[in-house]
Structure 1
C-alpha cells in the first residue's frame, strides 16, 4: 500500500492519461492488433503460439483469482483508483500484467534480439507500474503476473512445438477442457468471451491446417491491404454481433467464437483467394 501511495504521490493529469494508455497493452484489443499482424502477415506458427499462450493465460488468471480470492486495493484509505472498468473481480495475480507478459515474452522468444528483449521487458515493467499507479493492484499481484505469465508461455510453446513437429493436432483439445468446465463455474461475460475465442482458435486450427494451409507471405502493399481490411472487418463484425447476440452469456460466447473464426479461418481463406501464394 505504501508503494502505491508513493507512486501516486507523483500523480498529475499527464501521468493519469499516460498510464491509462500504457495499461491498454495488457488488454485484449492490443492483443488482437498484434496477434493478427503476426498471423496474417508475418509468421503463422508464431501467430498460433502467441494466440494460444495469451488466451490460455487469460483463462489461467481467472482460475487463480477465483481460487485465491484476494480483494483489490480499490477503496483503501489514501488510494486513488482509475480506469475501474478494467479492474473487475479479484486482485491476485494481475491479469493485465500477466497478459502483457504473455504477449511480449512470446514476441521476445520469436525475435531473439537483445534490443527487443530490452524493449519488451520495459513494456512489461511499464504495465506493472501502470497497475500500481492506477491503484488497482498491489506489487505482489504484478510480480506474480510476470512469473506466471513467463512460465505459462514456455509451457504452451513447448506444447505447440511438439504439436507442429509431431502433427498430433488433438493435443489442442486439452486446452478446451478448462474452458468448458469454467463455463459452468464462472458465469461472467469476460470468461465466456475468453472461452469463445479459445474454442474457436482450436477449431480454427483444425480447419485451417487441414484445408486452407494459409501462407502469410506477400508483397508489402498486399500485407498492408490484408491487415487493414482484416482489422476493420473484425471491428465491424464485432459491432454487428454484439448488437445481435450479446444479450446473454451464450450470445457473448457465440460472438467471440465467430470473431475467432474470422481471424483463424475466414480471413486467411479470403486472403489466400485474393493473393494466392505457393506453399
Structure 2
C-alpha cells in the first residue's frame, strides 16, 4: 500500500509542477495554502457561529472537525512518509506539514469545508468559489513540496464521502432532538489518544471533545441568539478571538509540554467558542433577545 502511495509518478508530477517555480508563485502558493489551515477555519466558524447562523455553524464545525479526526486516524494507521528530502524536490512552508503524508490534511479540510458550504447553502457562487479554492489548495500542497498528488486526491475523496455521512448524522440529530447521542463519538476519540501519538490528532481530538460537550450545553441551557448589530458583531469577534488566542498561547506556557496538554488546550478553546463566549455575549447584552 505504501509503495503505491509513494511511487515514482507522484515525484515526476511534483517536479513538473515545481518546474514553473518563481518567487511570485511561491508567495501565491503560501497564501493559498493558508486557506486550509487552523487559523482560517477557526476565524470563519467563529464568524458563522457567533454572528451569522449558529445552526449552520454547528453543522459545519462538526463536519469539519470530525473529518479531521478521520484524517488523523488514517494518517496514523498508514504512516506514509513525507516527500521531504527527495532529490530534486524543494519544500516550502514546511512548518505546516506535520505528521504523516496521506491523505493531505489541508486538502481534506478545505474540501470538507467548501463541500459542506455547497451542500447546505446550494448557491451558485459557493460551487464556483468552492471548487476553485479546493483545486488551488490541493495544487499549492504539491507545489510547496509537502504532499504528493495521491495525498491530495485522497484528501478530496475522503472529504466528499465524509460530508455526506456527517450531514446524515446532523440531520438525524436535528430531527430526533437527541443531541446527547453525539457523546458516543467521544469514546473512539479518547481510545485514539492511546493509538495515534501525534500533535495533529491530539489537537483536533481536544477540539471535537470540547465542541460536542459545548454543543450539548449551549443548545440545552444557554440558547444563544447570534443576531446582533454590526457593532455588536464586531465586539463579539474582538472579545471572542482575543480569548481564543489567550487560551491557545497562555495554556501552552502553563501546561507541561506533553501531547495531552495539546488535547486539554483545544478542549478549552472549543468550550470557550461554544459555551463561554455565547454566555458572555448574553450577559453583556450584545446579542438579540429571543
The TM-score normalised by the length of structure 2 is: 0.92
Count of residues in correspondence between the two structures: 279
1:52 to 46, 57, 62: 62
1:270 aligns with 2:289: no
For residues 234-274 of structure 1, the C-alpha deviation after alignment (integer angstroms, 9 at most, x for no partner) is 11222211111152222222111111111000001111222
> What does residue 65 of structure 1 align with?
75
2:199 to 169, 180, 189: 189
> What does residue 137 of structure 2 align with?
127
2:38 to 25, 28, 35: 28
Helix, strand or coil at the partner of 2:194: helix
For residues 98-138 of structure 1, the C-alpha deviation after alignment (integer angstroms, 9 at most, x for no partner) is 01111111222233111221001101111001011011111
In structure 1, distance between residues paired with 2:266 and 2:83? 31
In structure 1, distance between residues paired with 2:202 and 2:72? 11
Distance change >3 Å, CA 248–CA 72, structure 1 → 2: closer
The TM-score normalised by the length of structure 1 is: 0.95
8 Å CA contact 1:246, 1:252 repeated in 2? no
2:29 to 19, 31, 39: 19
8 Å CA contact 1:56, 1:175 repeated in 2? no
For residues 54-83 of structure 1, the C-alpha deviation after alignment (integer angstroms, 9 at most, x for no partner) is 111111011111222222222222111111
8 Å CA contact 1:226, 1:271 repeated in 2? yes
5+ residue gaps, structure 2, are 1-10
Distance change >3 Å, CA 114–CA 246, structure 1 → 2: farther
1:207 aligns with 2:222: no
User: Higher mean Cα deviation, 155-164 or 224-233?
Assistant: 224-233
What do you get for the CA RMSD once the two structures are aligned? Answer: 1.4
Distance change >3 Å, CA 69–CA 276, structure 1 → 2: closer
In structure 2, distance between residues paired with 1:206 and 1:95? 27
1:151 to 153, 161, 165: 161
8 Å CA contact 1:197, 1:256 repeated in 2? yes
Helix, strand or coil at the partner of 2:31: helix
> What does residue 13 of structure 2 align with?
3
In structure 2, distance between residues paired with 1:109 and 1:269? 30
